[in-house]
């Protein structure tokens, strides 16, 4: 047996009051930008007054349930207060630049993203990397694309840690060289037909960026090696051009020229006049206090020195007195013998 209409009406009133309280509480604590509010108000119908809606509803259970569902949908939406700004442009300039959003390029195919993302996270397999490096060697007319070799003279001057770091960067450069070679092959085929000019520009830009990165790594290797050289040699070879060798093919000749210049500079300076040490000149001066170390002796050491000197003086005085006494005794005996002979 169904419920009476009066009970349904009372129950519906309670539900409406509860929903009204929730709606008021949600509107007080939620904020949203004006643009979002305008977009959402266009996409949905405005919130109806529950009391007005209640008057137009019949007492049938199906209509009651439909009305409750409609209110539940309206309450779950983000209804916020509109916050408007009326600020002068000069004042906004004082607040600083508006943060710019990070820019991204066009989307790639999901199959491409999945494969490249796995390589970025885990890297290529060793065998696969080795096969790719063999697959795209440098072109015959572009041998300089290889990673530049380290000059033997620079290798001899570099330390062990520097050589290990140079070897790691050289391996990275070789991998960049193979990537440039692969792009060059694709660019060759496309330039012959000259059909897809947009893709030709894309591949050319990628290859140029990689070539610049290749050059930057060569400069990094040179700077690590130059830290182990002396200042004069560093200044003479730091601007050498990179070719198949890191410091150029004429690196040995430049080193010889640098040494010859240093030797000539030393000869032009001549010998400096030798100056006598002030301590040696004043060594026998009466007020000479000795070297700095002796002058700044501790108090105990000075006291010990004075006591030792005093003992030396006393011993010397005693020795002198004993010699004088012996001489006096000898003279007295001689006088006695002379008097005895006269008698």
Per-residue pLDDT reduced to its tens digit, 83-122: 556 777 787 788 888 778 888 888 999 999 999 999 999 9
Where is average pLDDT lowest: 8-17, 197-206, 208-217?
8-17
Higher pLDDT, 179 or 310: 179
Q: What is the pLDDT of residue 271?
A: 55
Residue spans per domain, the chain: 5-82, 123-269
- H-helix or E-strand containing 236? helix 231-237
- CA dihedral sign of residues 211, 215, 218, 223: negative
Which of 142, 308, 116 lies closest to 211, judged by CA?
Answer: 142
The terminus-to-terminus CA distance of the chain in angstroms comes to 183
Which of 3, 109, 122 lies closest to 61, judged by CA?
Answer: 3
Higher pLDDT, 21 or 4: 21
Which of 157, 164, 155 lies closest to 228, judged by CA?
Answer: 157
Per-residue pLDDT reduced to its tens digit, 6-53: 777 777 888 888 888 888 777 766 545 444 445 444 444 444 554 454
**Average per-residue pLDDT for the chain:** 75
Rg of the chain, C-alpha, whole Å: 50
Contact 178, 124 (CB under 8 A): no
Higher pLDDT, 9 or 162: 162
Per-residue pLDDT reduced to its tens digit, 222-271: 999 888 887 877 877 878 888 899 988 888 887 777 777 777 766 666 65
**DSSP code of 4?**
P
Under 8 Å CB-to-CB from 26, ≥6 apart: which residues? 75, 79
Per-residue pLDDT reduced to its tens digit, 300-319: 666 666 767 776 767 777 67
State the Cα–Cα distance between residues 34 and 40, nearest whole angstrom: 10
Q: How far is CA 72 from CA 48, 63, 246, 247, 294, in A?
A: 12, 14, 74, 76, 99
Contact 232, 262 (CB under 8 A): yes
Per-residue pLDDT reduced to its tens digit, 183-197: 999 999 888 887 788
Q: What is the pLDDT of residue 80?
A: 46
Helices 5-29 and 61-76: angle between axes, nearest 10 degrees: 0
Helices 126-135 and 160-193: angle between axes, nearest 10 degrees: 60
- Does 296 have pLDDT greater than 90? no
Instruction: Sort 171 into a burial class: Cβ within 10 Å, 0-12 / 13-18 / 19+.
Output: exposed
Alpha helices, DSSP H, located in 82-135:
89-94, 110-122, 126-135
The share of the chain scoring above pLDDT 90, in percent, equals 28
């Amino acid at each position: 047996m169904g419920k009476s209409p009066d009970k349904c009406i009372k129950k519906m009133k309670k539900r409406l009051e509860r929903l009204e309280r929730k709606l008021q509480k949600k509107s007080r604590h939620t904020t949203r930008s004006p643009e979002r509010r305008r977009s959402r108000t266009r996409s949905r119908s405005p919130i109806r007054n529950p009391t007005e809606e209640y008057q137009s509803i019949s007492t049938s259970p199906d209509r009651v349930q439909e009305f409750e569902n409609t209110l539940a949908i309206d309450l779950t939406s983000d209804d916020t207060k509109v916050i408007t700004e009326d600020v002068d442009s000069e004042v906004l300039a004082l607040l600083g630049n508006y943060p710019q959003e990070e820019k991204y390029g066009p989307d790639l195919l999901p199959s491409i993203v999945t494969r490249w993302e796995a390589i970025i996270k885990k890297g290529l397999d060793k065998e696969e990397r080795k096969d790719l490096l063999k697959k795209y060697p440098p072109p015959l007319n572009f041998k300089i694309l290889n990673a530049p070799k380290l000059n033997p003279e620079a290798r001899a001057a570099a330390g062990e840690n520097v050589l290990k770091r140079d070897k790691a960067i050289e391996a990275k450069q070789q991998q960049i060289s193979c990537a440039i070679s692969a792009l060059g092959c694709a660019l060759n085929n496309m330039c012959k037909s000259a059909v897809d000019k947009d893709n030709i520009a894309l591949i050319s830009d990628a290859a140029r960026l990689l070539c610049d990165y290749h050059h930057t790594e060569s400069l990094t290797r040179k700077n690590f090696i130059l830290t182990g050289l002396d200042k004069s040699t560093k200044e003479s070879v730091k601007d050498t051009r990179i070719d198949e060798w890191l410091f150029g093919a004429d690196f040995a000749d430049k080193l010889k020229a640098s040494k010859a210049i240093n030797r000539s500079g030393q000869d032009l300076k001549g010998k400096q006049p030798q100056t006598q040490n002030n301590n040696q000149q004043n060594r026998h001066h009466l007020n000479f206090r000795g070297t700095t170390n002796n002058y700044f002796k501790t108090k105990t050491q000075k006291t010990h020195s004075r006591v030792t000197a005093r003992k030396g003086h006393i011993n010397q005085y005693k020795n002198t007195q004993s010699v004088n006494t012996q001489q006096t005794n000898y003279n007295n005996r001689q006088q006695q013998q002379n008097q005895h002979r006269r008698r």
